[in-house]
Amino acid sequence: MNGRYAPALVMLLLAACGAPSSPGAASASCGLPADELDEFLTIPSGSFLKGRDAIYQEEAPAETLHVEGFAILSHEVTNTEFARFVEETGYVTDAERSAAAGGEAAGSAVFLSAEGSISQAPWKLVPGATWKSPEGPGSNIDGRALHPVVHISLADARAYADWADGRLPTEVEWEYAASLGLPEINRSNSGAYDSDGNPVANTWQGIFPFSNTAADGFTGTSPVGCFGKDGIGAYDMIGNVWEWTDTPYGPGTHTIKGGSYLCADNFCRRYRPAARQPEETDFSSNHIGFRIVRDTATTE
């Protein structure tokens, strides 16, 4: 990691998002059974309106695009799967290399609770915050096998995808799949809240960053699959953690999609398929993860 982290921390604060798939709080013991991990869903070729119901300037203009069929992992890559990758390959993540190198810019970004505080920037670069120690030295992933792996840079996500015979989705592929999965196709935030305002994904309920009611059952990441399948059979396309795509956003940045458990109605309403956010390619945090796709010959 490098000295560009100061502006990136501001960008992270601007990027907070997430919410469940049936009314009421989810259980902390929820999640997919082991035999349902690594399932890929077939997404048929088709057209959709990218940038539909834009809220933020960067989401416009709306345009109809055709997308070739592909297969998408039904859930965000978990700690279990990433641990298997590391065990088989010996891979060392960018956050781990940063911690080993030391220096002023060493570390990965960790969100710190601002409840009872007047701080409006509750982020800190923590040396030693890695996928194995999400909150920094002394923390671990015990009991979080099914949580999405975090503190993952673009390079880390690409390395895993190569190992798993896949690739990262493009922004268009990701948005197409998320749009198809919406419970109510004409209500762009229906992947986050039902028509009565109940959370249906892992997001922030309350006033960000000062008060989180945890109406969805979580104040941090949740195990994958806690909020039920969307319309295509996928989990957590909206909320839980932001997801890397393979689409550049601007110089030194790539596009992340889907929002995270930090997205709130008062600050980051990016819990919608059209929402998009730039992130520095060598940056990582405890609310950014990924899922992968594979090419397929599927047609309409």
Domain assignment present for residue 247? The answer is: yes
CB 279, CB 285: distance < 8 Å: no
Of 26-30, 180-184, 249-253, the poorest mean pLDDT is in 26-30
Quote the pLDDT of residue 1: 42
User: DSSP letters along the chain, please?
Assistant: --TTHHHHHHHHHHT---B-SSSSPPPTT----GGGTT-EEEE--EEEEETTT--SGGGPPPEEEEE--EEEESSPPBHHHHHHHHHHH----HHHHHHHH-STT-SEEEE---TT---S--EEEETT-BTTBTTSTT---TT-TTSBP-S--HHHHHHHHHHTT-BPPPHHHHHHHHHHH-SSTT-TTTTTB-TTS-B-SB---SSTTT----TTS-SS---TTTT---TTS-S-SSSSSEEEEEEEEETTEEEEES--TT--TTT----STT--EEEETT--BTTEE---EEE-----
Q: How far apart are CA 200 and CA 216, in angstroms?
A: 7
Domain assignment present for residue 111? The answer is: yes
Domain assignment present for residue 32? The answer is: no
Strands 242-250 and 288-289: parallel
Percent of the chain with pLDDT over 90: 76
Q: How far apart are CA 148 and CA 243, in angstroms?
A: 10
Structural domain total, the chain: 1
CA 9 to chain centre: 17
Of 24-28, 71-75, 167-171, 289-293, the poorest mean pLDDT is in 24-28
Here the tokens at position 65 are 């695009």
Quote the pLDDT of residue 99: 87
Domain assignment present for residue 30? The answer is: no
Quote the pLDDT of residue 116: 52
- Give me the half-sphere count of Cα atoms (radius 13 Å) on the Cβ side of residue 62: 9
Q: Which domain holds residue 128?
A: 5-24+37-295
| pLDDT above 50: residue 15 | no
Determine if the pTM surpasses 0.85: yes
> For position 92, which CATH number holds?
3.90.1580.10
Phi, psi (deg, nearest 5) at residue 285 = -160, 175
Domain assignment present for residue 275? The answer is: yes
pLDDT in tens, 243-278: 999 999 999 999 999 999 999 988 888 999 999 999
Domain assignment present for residue 300? The answer is: no
| pLDDT above 60: residue 113 | yes
Quote the pLDDT of residue 173: 98
| pLDDT above 60: residue 186 | yes
Q: How far apart are CA 171 and CA 216, in angstroms?
A: 27
| pLDDT above 70: residue 137 | yes
Asked whether the CA dihedral 41, 74, 227, 247 is positive or negative, the reply is negative
Quote the pLDDT of residue 114: 56
